Structure 1
Amino acid sequence: MWWFLIGTSCLPVTLVIWSCAAFVISFSIAVLSRHVPPLVPFISDTGTFPPESCIFGLMINFSAFLGLVVMYFRYKLIQALNERKATINPKLNTAALVCGALGCLGMCIVANFQETTLRIVHDIGALLAFVMGTTYLVLQSFISIRMMPYHHSRLVCGFRTILSAISVIATIPMIICYSLAARSSSTLEWKPEAKGSSFQVTSAICEWLVAFSFNFFFLTYIKEFQTFTINVRTVLLPELNEECCNTF
Protein backbone atom coordinates (compact mmCIF):
# COMPACT_ATOMS: atom_id res chain seq x y z
CA MET A 1 0.00 0.00 0.00
CA TRP A 2 1.22 3.48 -0.87
CA TRP A 3 2.26 5.44 2.21
CA PHE A 4 -0.09 8.35 1.44
CA LEU A 5 -3.06 5.96 1.39
CA ILE A 6 -2.52 4.74 4.95
CA GLY A 7 -5.21 5.97 7.32
CA THR A 8 -6.25 9.50 6.36
CA SER A 9 -2.75 10.75 5.47
CA CYS A 10 -3.91 11.53 1.92
CA LEU A 11 -5.71 14.61 3.28
CA PRO A 12 -2.69 16.64 4.51
CA VAL A 13 -0.69 15.44 1.50
CA THR A 14 -3.38 16.66 -0.90
CA LEU A 15 -3.74 19.93 1.01
CA VAL A 16 -0.03 20.79 0.83
CA ILE A 17 0.39 19.78 -2.82
CA TRP A 18 -2.77 21.61 -3.91
CA SER A 19 -1.94 24.79 -1.97
CA CYS A 20 1.63 24.95 -3.30
CA ALA A 21 0.34 24.33 -6.81
CA ALA A 22 -2.15 27.19 -6.40
CA PHE A 23 0.66 29.58 -5.49
CA VAL A 24 3.04 28.42 -8.21
CA ILE A 25 0.51 28.27 -11.06
CA SER A 26 -1.10 31.65 -10.37
CA PHE A 27 2.32 33.25 -9.83
CA SER A 28 3.68 31.83 -13.09
CA ILE A 29 0.68 32.98 -15.15
CA ALA A 30 0.67 36.44 -13.55
CA VAL A 31 4.38 36.95 -14.24
CA LEU A 32 4.20 35.62 -17.81
CA SER A 33 1.18 37.87 -18.44
CA ARG A 34 3.16 40.84 -17.04
CA HIS A 35 0.46 41.52 -14.47
CA VAL A 36 2.91 41.50 -11.56
CA PRO A 37 6.68 42.02 -11.26
CA PRO A 38 8.67 38.80 -10.70
CA LEU A 39 10.35 40.33 -7.65
CA VAL A 40 8.32 39.09 -4.66
CA PRO A 41 4.75 40.24 -5.35
CA PHE A 42 2.04 39.78 -2.75
CA ILE A 43 0.34 36.40 -2.97
CA SER A 44 -3.03 37.97 -3.72
CA ASP A 45 -1.44 40.17 -6.42
CA THR A 46 -0.89 36.99 -8.43
CA GLY A 47 -4.63 36.33 -8.43
CA THR A 48 -6.08 39.74 -9.22
CA PHE A 49 -6.43 39.84 -13.00
CA PRO A 50 -7.78 37.17 -15.36
CA PRO A 51 -6.87 34.51 -16.33
CA GLU A 52 -4.85 33.83 -13.18
CA SER A 53 -7.61 35.24 -10.94
CA CYS A 54 -9.97 32.46 -12.04
CA ILE A 55 -7.43 29.75 -11.25
CA PHE A 56 -6.37 31.44 -8.02
CA GLY A 57 -9.95 31.77 -6.77
CA LEU A 58 -10.86 28.18 -7.61
CA MET A 59 -7.74 26.62 -6.12
CA ILE A 60 -7.62 28.75 -2.96
CA ASN A 61 -11.29 28.05 -2.24
CA PHE A 62 -10.62 24.32 -2.48
CA SER A 63 -7.49 24.72 -0.33
CA ALA A 64 -9.62 26.42 2.34
CA PHE A 65 -12.08 23.53 2.22
CA LEU A 66 -9.30 20.92 2.47
CA GLY A 67 -7.71 22.89 5.30
CA LEU A 68 -10.97 22.91 7.25
CA VAL A 69 -11.38 19.15 6.75
CA VAL A 70 -7.83 18.48 7.94
CA MET A 71 -8.31 20.72 10.98
CA TYR A 72 -11.57 18.99 11.86
CA PHE A 73 -9.97 15.54 11.58
CA ARG A 74 -7.12 16.73 13.79
CA TYR A 75 -9.74 17.98 16.27
CA LYS A 76 -11.47 14.58 16.28
CA LEU A 77 -8.13 12.79 16.72
CA ILE A 78 -7.23 14.83 19.79
CA GLN A 79 -10.74 14.29 21.11
CA ALA A 80 -10.36 10.50 20.74
CA LEU A 81 -6.91 10.48 22.33
CA ASN A 82 -8.19 12.60 25.19
CA GLU A 83 -10.78 9.94 25.97
CA ARG A 84 -7.98 7.44 26.59
CA LYS A 85 -5.81 9.79 28.61
CA ALA A 86 -7.04 13.28 29.45
CA THR A 87 -4.11 15.59 28.77
CA ILE A 88 -5.70 18.42 26.79
CA ASN A 89 -8.45 20.76 27.88
CA PRO A 90 -11.36 20.21 25.44
CA LYS A 91 -11.89 23.99 25.30
CA LEU A 92 -8.33 24.41 24.00
CA ASN A 93 -8.97 21.84 21.30
CA THR A 94 -12.20 23.60 20.32
CA ALA A 95 -10.49 27.01 20.34
CA ALA A 96 -7.85 25.74 17.92
CA LEU A 97 -10.55 24.43 15.57
CA VAL A 98 -12.46 27.73 15.68
CA CYS A 99 -9.29 29.74 14.93
CA GLY A 100 -8.48 27.41 12.06
CA ALA A 101 -12.00 27.69 10.65
CA LEU A 102 -11.82 31.50 10.78
CA GLY A 103 -8.49 31.36 8.98
CA CYS A 104 -10.08 29.24 6.23
CA LEU A 105 -12.92 31.76 5.99
CA GLY A 106 -10.34 34.49 5.53
CA MET A 107 -8.78 32.50 2.67
CA CYS A 108 -12.16 32.30 0.94
CA ILE A 109 -12.62 36.07 1.30
CA VAL A 110 -9.18 36.71 -0.20
CA ALA A 111 -9.91 34.35 -3.10
CA ASN A 112 -13.29 35.88 -3.96
CA PHE A 113 -12.76 39.59 -3.27
CA GLN A 114 -9.86 40.93 -5.34
CA GLU A 115 -7.94 43.85 -3.89
CA THR A 116 -8.57 46.02 -6.95
CA THR A 117 -12.34 45.58 -6.55
CA LEU A 118 -13.01 45.65 -2.79
CA ARG A 119 -9.69 46.31 -1.12
CA ILE A 120 -11.08 46.77 2.39
CA VAL A 121 -12.90 43.43 2.31
CA HIS A 122 -9.85 41.78 0.76
CA ASP A 123 -7.55 43.15 3.46
CA ILE A 124 -9.91 42.02 6.21
CA GLY A 125 -9.92 38.53 4.74
CA ALA A 126 -6.11 38.48 4.50
CA LEU A 127 -5.77 39.70 8.08
CA LEU A 128 -8.24 37.05 9.26
CA ALA A 129 -6.44 34.31 7.33
CA PHE A 130 -2.93 35.11 8.54
CA VAL A 131 -3.70 36.07 12.15
CA MET A 132 -6.13 33.22 12.81
CA GLY A 133 -3.94 30.79 10.89
CA THR A 134 -0.92 31.77 12.98
CA THR A 135 -2.97 31.45 16.17
CA TYR A 136 -3.99 27.95 15.05
CA LEU A 137 -0.33 26.98 14.60
CA VAL A 138 0.56 28.29 18.06
CA LEU A 139 -2.33 26.44 19.75
CA GLN A 140 -1.56 23.19 17.93
CA SER A 141 2.12 23.47 18.89
CA PHE A 142 1.12 23.90 22.52
CA ILE A 143 -1.24 20.91 22.27
CA SER A 144 1.55 18.81 20.74
CA ILE A 145 3.92 19.70 23.57
CA ARG A 146 1.29 18.82 26.18
CA MET A 147 0.77 15.41 24.53
CA MET A 148 4.49 14.61 24.37
CA PRO A 149 5.69 11.84 24.56
CA TYR A 150 2.29 10.15 24.71
CA HIS A 151 1.49 10.86 21.08
CA HIS A 152 4.07 13.30 19.67
CA SER A 153 7.85 12.97 19.49
CA ARG A 154 10.26 15.72 20.49
CA LEU A 155 11.28 16.16 16.85
CA VAL A 156 7.72 16.81 15.70
CA CYS A 157 7.02 19.16 18.60
CA GLY A 158 10.25 21.05 17.97
CA PHE A 159 9.53 21.40 14.26
CA ARG A 160 5.98 22.63 14.90
CA THR A 161 7.20 25.09 17.52
CA ILE A 162 9.80 26.51 15.11
CA LEU A 163 7.23 26.90 12.33
CA SER A 164 4.71 28.59 14.62
CA ALA A 165 7.45 30.92 15.91
CA ILE A 166 8.46 31.81 12.34
CA SER A 167 4.82 32.50 11.52
CA VAL A 168 4.39 34.77 14.54
CA ILE A 169 7.64 36.64 13.91
CA ALA A 170 6.85 37.13 10.21
CA THR A 171 3.20 38.12 10.69
CA ILE A 172 4.01 41.18 12.80
CA PRO A 173 6.30 42.98 10.28
CA MET A 174 4.03 41.79 7.46
CA ILE A 175 1.08 43.73 8.89
CA ILE A 176 3.13 46.79 9.88
CA CYS A 177 4.97 47.08 6.56
CA TYR A 178 1.78 46.51 4.58
CA SER A 179 0.10 49.36 6.46
CA LEU A 180 3.01 51.64 5.60
CA ALA A 181 3.11 50.52 1.97
CA ALA A 182 -0.68 50.86 1.58
CA ARG A 183 -0.29 54.62 1.42
CA SER A 184 0.61 54.20 -2.24
CA SER A 185 -2.21 54.17 -4.80
CA SER A 186 -1.80 50.52 -5.85
CA THR A 187 -0.01 47.45 -4.55
CA LEU A 188 0.45 46.20 -8.13
CA GLU A 189 2.08 49.20 -9.79
CA TRP A 190 5.32 50.05 -8.08
CA LYS A 191 8.98 50.61 -8.89
CA PRO A 192 12.00 49.70 -6.76
CA GLU A 193 13.00 53.36 -6.49
CA ALA A 194 9.49 54.47 -5.49
CA LYS A 195 8.74 55.62 -1.98
CA GLY A 196 7.53 52.80 0.25
CA SER A 197 8.74 50.02 -2.04
CA SER A 198 11.02 48.62 0.67
CA PHE A 199 8.03 48.25 3.01
CA GLN A 200 6.12 46.49 0.27
CA VAL A 201 8.91 44.03 -0.49
CA THR A 202 9.40 43.31 3.20
CA SER A 203 5.69 42.71 3.73
CA ALA A 204 5.50 40.45 0.66
CA ILE A 205 8.48 38.37 1.78
CA CYS A 206 6.93 37.91 5.22
CA GLU A 207 3.60 36.99 3.62
CA TRP A 208 5.17 34.22 1.52
CA LEU A 209 7.12 33.05 4.57
CA VAL A 210 3.95 32.74 6.67
CA ALA A 211 2.08 30.98 3.86
CA PHE A 212 4.74 28.32 3.43
CA SER A 213 5.04 27.95 7.20
CA PHE A 214 1.38 26.90 7.16
CA ASN A 215 2.09 24.33 4.45
CA PHE A 216 5.13 22.87 6.19
CA PHE A 217 3.15 22.69 9.42
CA PHE A 218 0.46 20.58 7.77
CA LEU A 219 3.19 18.29 6.46
CA THR A 220 3.87 17.26 10.06
CA TYR A 221 0.31 15.88 10.22
CA ILE A 222 1.04 13.13 7.70
CA LYS A 223 2.58 10.64 10.13
CA GLU A 224 -0.16 10.89 12.74
CA PHE A 225 -2.93 10.89 10.14
CA GLN A 226 -1.67 7.44 9.18
CA THR A 227 -2.73 6.17 12.60
CA PHE A 228 -6.50 6.62 12.30
CA THR A 229 -9.50 6.53 10.00
CA ILE A 230 -12.92 8.18 10.28
CA ASN A 231 -16.07 6.23 9.51
CA VAL A 232 -19.43 7.78 8.67
CA ARG A 233 -22.53 5.92 9.85
CA THR A 234 -26.11 6.66 8.80
CA VAL A 235 -28.60 6.48 11.69
CA LEU A 236 -32.31 7.09 11.05
CA LEU A 237 -34.30 8.81 13.77
CA PRO A 238 -37.08 6.57 15.17
CA GLU A 239 -39.85 8.95 14.11
CA LEU A 240 -38.52 9.34 10.58
CA ASN A 241 -37.90 5.61 10.25
CA GLU A 242 -41.50 4.81 11.25
CA GLU A 243 -42.87 7.49 8.90
CA CYS A 244 -40.90 6.14 5.97
CA CYS A 245 -42.11 2.57 6.63
CA ASN A 246 -45.75 3.74 6.74
CA THR A 247 -45.29 5.62 3.48
CA PHE A 248 -44.05 2.55 1.64
Structure 2
Amino acid sequence: MIEGHLYIFPLLVCILVPIAYLISFIVAIHLGHLKFEYSFFSQSLTNSPESCIYSQIINFTSFILIITIYIRYRQIAELIRNHPTCGKKCSQLNLTFLTCGMITAFSMSIIANFPHSNVFLVRILATYITFITSVGALYCEMLLSFWIRPLLYSSRILPFIRMILSIICTFIFIIFIIFQTITIIKYDNQEKLWTSISPGWKYHFGSSLSTWILTSCLLIYISTLIIDFRRIKIISPKIYLTTDIIDDQMNHRLSFSI
Protein backbone atom coordinates (compact mmCIF):
# COMPACT_ATOMS: atom_id res chain seq x y z
CA MET A 1 0.00 0.00 0.00
CA ILE A 2 1.41 3.37 -1.03
CA GLU A 3 0.56 6.41 1.07
CA GLY A 4 0.82 10.02 -0.04
CA HIS A 5 -0.26 13.28 1.54
CA LEU A 6 2.82 13.37 3.76
CA TYR A 7 2.72 17.16 3.57
CA ILE A 8 0.09 16.98 6.30
CA PHE A 9 2.86 16.56 8.91
CA PRO A 10 4.67 19.91 8.42
CA LEU A 11 1.29 21.53 7.86
CA LEU A 12 0.04 20.25 11.22
CA VAL A 13 3.12 21.59 13.00
CA CYS A 14 2.54 25.05 11.54
CA ILE A 15 -1.13 24.98 12.53
CA LEU A 16 -0.94 23.42 15.99
CA VAL A 17 1.66 25.76 17.51
CA PRO A 18 -0.47 28.92 17.02
CA ILE A 19 -3.61 27.01 18.01
CA ALA A 20 -1.96 25.87 21.25
CA TYR A 21 -1.29 29.43 22.33
CA LEU A 22 -4.57 30.82 21.00
CA ILE A 23 -6.76 28.33 22.88
CA SER A 24 -4.73 28.72 26.08
CA PHE A 25 -4.83 32.49 25.71
CA ILE A 26 -8.63 32.53 25.33
CA VAL A 27 -9.09 30.24 28.34
CA ALA A 28 -6.73 32.33 30.47
CA ILE A 29 -8.53 35.55 29.53
CA HIS A 30 -11.92 33.99 30.23
CA LEU A 31 -10.82 32.79 33.68
CA GLY A 32 -9.14 36.10 34.51
CA HIS A 33 -5.66 34.62 34.87
CA LEU A 34 -4.00 37.34 32.81
CA LYS A 35 -4.54 40.79 31.38
CA PHE A 36 -5.39 41.05 27.72
CA GLU A 37 -3.05 43.92 26.91
CA TYR A 38 0.10 42.19 28.20
CA SER A 39 -0.65 38.54 27.61
CA PHE A 40 1.56 38.11 24.58
CA PHE A 41 4.60 39.38 26.44
CA SER A 42 4.09 37.75 29.81
CA GLN A 43 4.75 34.34 31.26
CA SER A 44 1.03 33.67 31.17
CA LEU A 45 0.53 29.97 30.52
CA THR A 46 1.41 28.76 34.01
CA ASN A 47 -2.06 28.28 35.51
CA SER A 48 -4.45 25.40 35.06
CA PRO A 49 -6.32 24.57 32.90
CA GLU A 50 -4.70 26.68 30.16
CA SER A 51 -1.23 25.31 30.91
CA CYS A 52 -2.57 21.75 30.64
CA ILE A 53 -4.21 22.48 27.30
CA TYR A 54 -1.05 24.11 26.02
CA SER A 55 1.13 21.20 27.17
CA GLN A 56 -1.07 18.57 25.56
CA ILE A 57 -1.17 20.30 22.19
CA ILE A 58 2.57 21.03 22.18
CA ASN A 59 3.37 17.45 23.19
CA PHE A 60 1.40 16.20 20.22
CA THR A 61 3.05 18.81 18.01
CA SER A 62 6.48 17.65 19.16
CA PHE A 63 5.59 14.12 18.11
CA ILE A 64 4.42 15.34 14.69
CA LEU A 65 7.62 17.38 14.37
CA ILE A 66 9.71 14.27 15.04
CA ILE A 67 7.86 12.46 12.24
CA THR A 68 8.37 15.46 9.94
CA ILE A 69 12.09 15.62 10.62
CA TYR A 70 12.53 11.88 10.16
CA ILE A 71 10.67 11.89 6.83
CA ARG A 72 12.84 14.76 5.60
CA TYR A 73 15.95 12.94 6.79
CA ARG A 74 14.93 9.78 4.94
CA GLN A 75 14.05 11.72 1.81
CA ILE A 76 17.49 13.29 1.64
CA ALA A 77 19.13 9.98 2.58
CA GLU A 78 17.40 8.29 -0.37
CA LEU A 79 18.54 11.05 -2.71
CA ILE A 80 22.10 10.66 -1.47
CA ARG A 81 21.94 6.88 -1.83
CA ASN A 82 20.66 7.12 -5.40
CA HIS A 83 23.22 9.80 -6.30
CA PRO A 84 26.61 8.85 -4.80
CA THR A 85 28.14 12.00 -6.28
CA CYS A 86 26.52 13.95 -3.44
CA GLY A 87 29.45 12.89 -1.28
CA LYS A 88 29.93 11.91 2.33
CA LYS A 89 29.53 15.48 3.59
CA CYS A 90 25.85 15.41 2.59
CA SER A 91 25.28 12.28 4.67
CA GLN A 92 27.04 13.79 7.68
CA LEU A 93 25.11 17.03 7.35
CA ASN A 94 21.86 15.11 7.01
CA LEU A 95 22.62 13.19 10.20
CA THR A 96 23.40 16.45 11.99
CA PHE A 97 20.07 17.82 10.79
CA LEU A 98 18.29 14.77 12.19
CA THR A 99 20.05 15.08 15.55
CA CYS A 100 19.38 18.81 15.92
CA GLY A 101 15.77 18.35 14.85
CA MET A 102 15.10 15.59 17.35
CA ILE A 103 16.64 17.62 20.18
CA THR A 104 14.51 20.60 19.16
CA ALA A 105 11.31 18.57 19.27
CA PHE A 106 12.15 17.07 22.66
CA SER A 107 13.19 20.36 24.26
CA MET A 108 10.05 22.01 22.88
CA SER A 109 8.03 19.46 24.83
CA ILE A 110 10.05 20.26 27.96
CA ILE A 111 9.20 23.96 27.62
CA ALA A 112 5.50 23.12 27.47
CA ASN A 113 5.55 20.79 30.48
CA PHE A 114 7.68 22.78 32.92
CA PRO A 115 5.84 25.92 34.12
CA HIS A 116 7.85 29.12 34.11
CA SER A 117 7.08 30.08 37.69
CA ASN A 118 7.81 26.64 39.19
CA VAL A 119 10.94 25.40 37.43
CA PHE A 120 12.35 28.47 35.74
CA LEU A 121 15.86 27.09 35.29
CA VAL A 122 14.68 23.99 33.43
CA ARG A 123 12.37 26.02 31.22
CA ILE A 124 14.95 28.64 30.28
CA LEU A 125 17.59 26.00 29.53
CA ALA A 126 15.11 24.14 27.34
CA THR A 127 14.31 27.41 25.57
CA TYR A 128 17.98 28.05 24.81
CA ILE A 129 18.47 24.47 23.62
CA THR A 130 15.35 24.63 21.43
CA PHE A 131 16.45 27.77 19.63
CA ILE A 132 20.12 26.76 19.32
CA THR A 133 19.35 23.34 17.85
CA SER A 134 16.54 24.66 15.66
CA VAL A 135 18.81 27.27 14.10
CA GLY A 136 21.46 24.57 13.65
CA ALA A 137 18.91 22.31 11.96
CA LEU A 138 17.87 25.18 9.70
CA TYR A 139 21.42 25.73 8.46
CA CYS A 140 21.93 22.02 7.83
CA GLU A 141 18.67 21.78 5.94
CA MET A 142 19.34 24.98 4.03
CA LEU A 143 22.75 23.77 2.84
CA LEU A 144 21.26 20.42 1.86
CA SER A 145 18.55 22.25 -0.08
CA PHE A 146 21.22 24.00 -2.14
CA TRP A 147 23.22 20.83 -2.73
CA ILE A 148 20.28 18.67 -3.75
CA ARG A 149 18.42 21.43 -5.61
CA PRO A 150 19.13 20.01 -9.08
CA LEU A 151 17.58 16.72 -7.95
CA LEU A 152 14.37 18.28 -6.64
CA TYR A 153 13.80 21.78 -7.97
CA SER A 154 14.18 23.51 -11.29
CA SER A 155 14.14 26.89 -9.56
CA ARG A 156 16.53 28.42 -7.04
CA ILE A 157 13.78 30.38 -5.28
CA LEU A 158 12.97 27.89 -2.51
CA PRO A 159 16.59 27.35 -1.34
CA PHE A 160 17.12 31.13 -1.31
CA ILE A 161 13.96 31.64 0.74
CA ARG A 162 15.27 29.11 3.24
CA MET A 163 18.63 30.86 3.32
CA ILE A 164 16.98 34.21 4.06
CA LEU A 165 14.88 32.65 6.83
CA SER A 166 18.00 31.05 8.33
CA ILE A 167 19.83 34.38 8.38
CA ILE A 168 16.84 36.15 9.95
CA CYS A 169 16.56 33.43 12.60
CA THR A 170 20.25 33.80 13.42
CA PHE A 171 19.98 37.56 13.80
CA ILE A 172 16.82 37.35 15.93
CA PHE A 173 18.33 34.58 18.05
CA ILE A 174 21.32 36.79 18.90
CA ILE A 175 18.94 39.58 19.94
CA PHE A 176 17.00 37.11 22.08
CA ILE A 177 20.17 35.91 23.81
CA ILE A 178 21.26 39.48 24.61
CA PHE A 179 17.92 40.69 25.97
CA GLN A 180 17.13 37.46 27.80
CA THR A 181 20.54 37.37 29.46
CA ILE A 182 20.16 40.96 30.66
CA THR A 183 16.68 40.16 31.97
CA ILE A 184 17.91 37.11 33.87
CA ILE A 185 21.02 38.71 35.37
CA LYS A 186 19.78 42.21 36.12
CA TYR A 187 16.05 41.76 36.71
CA ASP A 188 13.67 39.23 38.19
CA ASN A 189 12.83 37.27 35.06
CA GLN A 190 10.77 34.83 37.11
CA GLU A 191 8.09 37.46 37.56
CA LYS A 192 4.82 35.89 36.51
CA LEU A 193 3.14 38.89 34.90
CA TRP A 194 5.07 41.73 33.31
CA THR A 195 3.65 45.20 32.76
CA SER A 196 5.04 48.35 31.18
CA ILE A 197 5.92 49.72 34.63
CA SER A 198 7.88 46.62 35.68
CA PRO A 199 11.66 47.11 36.04
CA GLY A 200 13.40 45.77 32.96
CA TRP A 201 10.20 45.77 30.91
CA LYS A 202 11.93 46.88 27.70
CA TYR A 203 14.42 44.02 27.92
CA HIS A 204 11.68 41.52 28.65
CA PHE A 205 9.60 42.97 25.83
CA GLY A 206 12.56 42.68 23.46
CA SER A 207 13.28 39.07 24.39
CA SER A 208 9.61 38.10 24.15
CA LEU A 209 9.14 39.85 20.82
CA SER A 210 12.26 38.20 19.42
CA THR A 211 10.90 34.85 20.62
CA TRP A 212 7.69 35.36 18.67
CA ILE A 213 9.53 36.48 15.54
CA LEU A 214 11.96 33.57 15.78
CA THR A 215 9.15 31.07 16.29
CA SER A 216 7.23 32.52 13.35
CA CYS A 217 10.27 32.26 11.08
CA LEU A 218 10.83 28.66 12.15
CA LEU A 219 7.23 27.80 11.35
CA ILE A 220 7.48 29.50 7.97
CA TYR A 221 10.60 27.46 7.25
CA ILE A 222 8.82 24.25 8.23
CA SER A 223 5.92 25.22 5.97
CA THR A 224 8.30 25.23 2.99
CA LEU A 225 8.74 21.49 3.50
CA ILE A 226 5.16 21.02 2.34
CA ILE A 227 6.43 21.52 -1.22
CA ASP A 228 9.05 18.78 -0.80
CA PHE A 229 6.70 16.38 0.96
CA ARG A 230 4.26 16.52 -1.95
CA ARG A 231 6.92 14.67 -3.95
CA ILE A 232 7.15 11.77 -1.49
CA LYS A 233 5.15 8.59 -1.12
CA ILE A 234 5.69 5.96 1.52
CA ILE A 235 5.01 2.25 1.32
CA SER A 236 3.36 0.79 4.39
CA PRO A 237 5.68 -1.71 6.11
CA LYS A 238 4.95 -5.41 5.81
CA ILE A 239 4.96 -7.58 8.92
CA TYR A 240 6.46 -11.05 8.58
CA LEU A 241 6.18 -13.84 11.12
CA THR A 242 9.44 -15.40 12.19
CA THR A 243 10.17 -19.03 11.37
CA ASP A 244 9.72 -20.10 14.98
CA ILE A 245 6.25 -18.59 15.18
CA ILE A 246 5.22 -20.18 11.89
CA ASP A 247 6.51 -23.59 13.04
CA ASP A 248 4.61 -23.27 16.32
CA GLN A 249 1.42 -22.44 14.46
CA MET A 250 1.88 -25.39 12.11
CA ASN A 251 2.50 -27.76 15.02
CA HIS A 252 -0.54 -26.39 16.79
CA ARG A 253 -2.71 -27.02 13.74
CA LEU A 254 -1.31 -30.54 13.33
CA SER A 255 -2.05 -31.37 16.96
CA PHE A 256 -5.66 -30.31 16.47
CA SER A 257 -6.00 -32.33 13.27
CA ILE A 258 -4.70 -35.46 15.03
TM-score for the superposition, normalised by structure 2: 0.86
Size of the alignment, in residue pairs?
243
Match of 1:233 among 232, 238, 246: 238
**Using the alignment, how far apart are the partners of 1:210 and 1:233 within structure 2?**
41
| Equivalence map 1:84-123=2 (5 Å) | 84-86=82-84, 87=86, 89-123=90-124
Deviation at 1:84, TM superposition (A): 1.8
SS in 1 for 2:143: helix
Out of 101-110 and 145-154, give the one that drifted further.
145-154
Change (3 A) 1:188 1:74: same
Query: Is contact 1:102-1:129 (8 Å) kept?
Result: yes
The corresponding residue for 2:10 is: 12
The corresponding residue for 1:24 is: 22
Deviation at 1:47, TM superposition (A): 2.1
Could you report, residue by residue, the CA deviation over 1:145-201 in whole angstroms, capped at 9, with x for unpaired residues? 111222133111011111111111111111221121122163433331332111100
Deviation at 1:64, TM superposition (A): 0.6
Question: For structure 2, which runs of at least 5 residues remain unmatched after alignment?
Answer: 254-258
Aligned residue identity for 2:238: R
The corresponding residue for 2:181 is: 179
**Using the alignment, how far apart are the partners of 1:178 and 1:167 within structure 2?**
16
Query: Is contact 2:41-2:194 (8 Å) kept?
Result: no
The corresponding residue for 1:206 is: 210
**Using the alignment, how far apart are the partners of 2:177 and 2:252 within structure 1?**
60
Question: For structure 1, which runs of at least 5 residues remain unmatched after alignment?
Answer: none
The corresponding residue for 1:195 is: 199
**Using the alignment, how far apart are the partners of 2:79 and 2:144 within structure 1?**
12
Query: Is contact 1:7-1:227 (8 Å) kept?
Result: no
Query: Is contact 1:109-1:122 (8 Å) kept?
Result: yes
Match of 1:58 among 56, 59, 84: 56
Out of 117-126 and 226-235, give the one that drifted further.
226-235
Deviation at 1:223, TM superposition (A): 1.5
**Using the alignment, how far apart are the partners of 1:180 and 1:33 within structure 2?**
32
Could you report, residue by residue, the CA deviation over 1:180-225 in whole angstroms, capped at 9, with x for unpaired residues? 1122163433331332111100000110111111111111111111
Query: Is contact 2:117-2:191 (8 Å) kept?
Result: no
Could you report, residue by residue, the CA deviation over 1:81-102 in whole angstroms, capped at 9, with x for unpaired residues? 1122132621211110110000
Aligned residue identity for 1:60: I
Aligned residue identity for 1:14: L
Could you report, residue by residue, the CA deviation over 1:98-123 in whole angstroms, capped at 9, with x for unpaired residues? 10000111111111111111111111
Q: RMSD of the TM alignment (CA)?
A: 2.2
The corresponding residue for 1:219 is: 223
Q: Percent identity?
A: 24
Deviation at 1:80, TM superposition (A): 1.1
Change (3 A) 1:194 1:219: same
Could you report, residue by residue, the CA deviation over 1:9-51 in whole angstroms, capped at 9, with x for unpaired residues? 11111221112211222233334444344346358x2421112
Change (3 A) 1:173 1:31: farther
Aligned residue identity for 1:41: F
Query: Is contact 2:146-2:159 (8 Å) kept?
Result: yes
TM-score for the superposition, normalised by structure 1: 0.89
**Using the alignment, how far apart are the partners of 2:102 and 2:239 within structure 1?**
25
Counting helix residues as a fraction of each chain, which structure ranks higher?
A: 2
